[in-house]
Amino acid sequence: MNRPVLSPHTPRPAGAPLALAGIRVADFSHFIAGPLCSMILADLGAEVIKIEKADGGDDFRNLRPKVGNDQSGPFLWTNRNKRSIAIDLKQEAGIAVARDIVAKSDVVLENFSTGVMARFGLDYPTVSAGNPRLIYCSVSAYGRSGPLKDRLGFDPITQAESGFMAMNGDADRVGVRAGPSIMDMATAMMTCNAVQAALFARERLGRGQYIENALFDTAVTMVGFHALNYLLSGQEPSRFGNASRDTVPTAAFDTADGPLFIACANDRTWNRLAARVLDRPDLADNAVYASTSGRIEHRDEILAVVSGILLKKSRTHWLGRMREAGVPGGAINSIAEAFGSTEMRDRELMSTIPHPVEGFVPNIRLPFRMEGTPLADPVAAPGLGEHSEWVLREVLGYGDAAVEGLRGSGAVKMG
């Protein structure tokens, strides 16, 4: 399949305000959860200063595929619309620069191991003393307090430990992790919500606050209503693979030329599926199948009947009929099929944006749109230390001697 043809990004309306204009974020985070959170804030108009280690920067720069000299596809994905300063925090002069950036910021975001920021004198109790309006956000695997605070953890580990993984896959096999880093991404979105709530609260209360979010806690949230069902009933959910334990037929099915997924969540949808899509009004009229509970009880026979019918014609045929009948269904696409689909094109999710080395790179916009305060026009992720001098001069007000001293000592790496 050919790769999709991308068009240049369409600029936002001239003069339109940005939702978070005037907010500065000192972003010490790396990998996914923290940087994705700060990227959302940047897309909303915040000025995000990405503070990276002088020796190599964010380790996400080193993944594949490589882009330019010091970037990668994953790094581009999480670091749009930011400015980078590269600081050697092993030098006192470098720590002093970091402290000055924090002092001039509205938000600090960090996801180091517990205790690292305190060693630099950049922990919340220390920096908030001189900046009481500061909002300080720590992201970690298991929190900053309690017996788990020093434990390292990553997305798939929290998928496993929270019970999330145990709900995915087939009943006769071990639970399956979600392929994308779903807990990192959910943590980023939850954290972004908390930061914006804290900014709103600051307008009313006149002070900032400390925010903490943990991947494990987010993973528990992502178990969804199954968690509450277990607490109410004591019964653990079973794995049904691509089927649903709660509604029938909600499952994956093969057709004559490719798989699709149907979500039949209520009795009305079942009637439309049986009578108008499958041309089986007798199934719709069957009193045993009329209710969700009846269909669950006869799950296997219903799935077998539906499967046999769908195999007789093409996926395009069935999806067209389902759309006409108002039955939710979609093709089970490969990544290539998804990004070449009409849905992807019609939603205008992809574009190209300029890149100083590659000329242009692909871009995938955030999913929401704001009419009154459109998202910022996307700027490709920065090179390591690309904006070091700009930050020193324009944000911190350092003069020539100070800038050259930091350059010469290596306390700040200039891009």
- Active-site positions read 184
Write the DSSP assignment of 25-55 as a string of letters: EEE---TTHHHHHHHHHHHTT-EEEEEEETT
Q: Are strands 24-27 and 47-53 parallel, antiparallel or unpaired?
A: parallel
Evaluate whether 141 touches 153 at the Cβ level (below 8 Å): yes
Residues 6+ positions from 83 with CB-CB distance below 8 Å = 47, 48, 49, 50, 382, 386, 387, 390, 391
Sign for the CA dihedral angle at 204, 208, 210, 212 comes to: positive
Give the DSSP H/E element, type plus range, for residue 193: helix 182-205
Q: Are strands 71-72 and 66-67 parallel, antiparallel or unpaired?
A: antiparallel
- Distance of alpha carbon 113 from alpha carbon 183, whole angstroms: 18
Question: Which tokens in the block code for residue 249?
Answer: 């037929």
**One-letter amino acid for residue 195 of the chain:** V
Evaluate whether 26 touches 49 at the Cβ level (below 8 Å): yes
- Distance of alpha carbon 339 from alpha carbon 346, whole angstroms: 11
**One-letter amino acid for residue 410 of the chain:** G
- Distance of alpha carbon 32 from alpha carbon 84, whole angstroms: 16
- Which residues, in sequence order, are bridge partners of residue 380? none
Q: By 3-state DSSP, what share of the chain in percent is helix, strand and coil, each rounded to 5?
A: 40, 15, 45
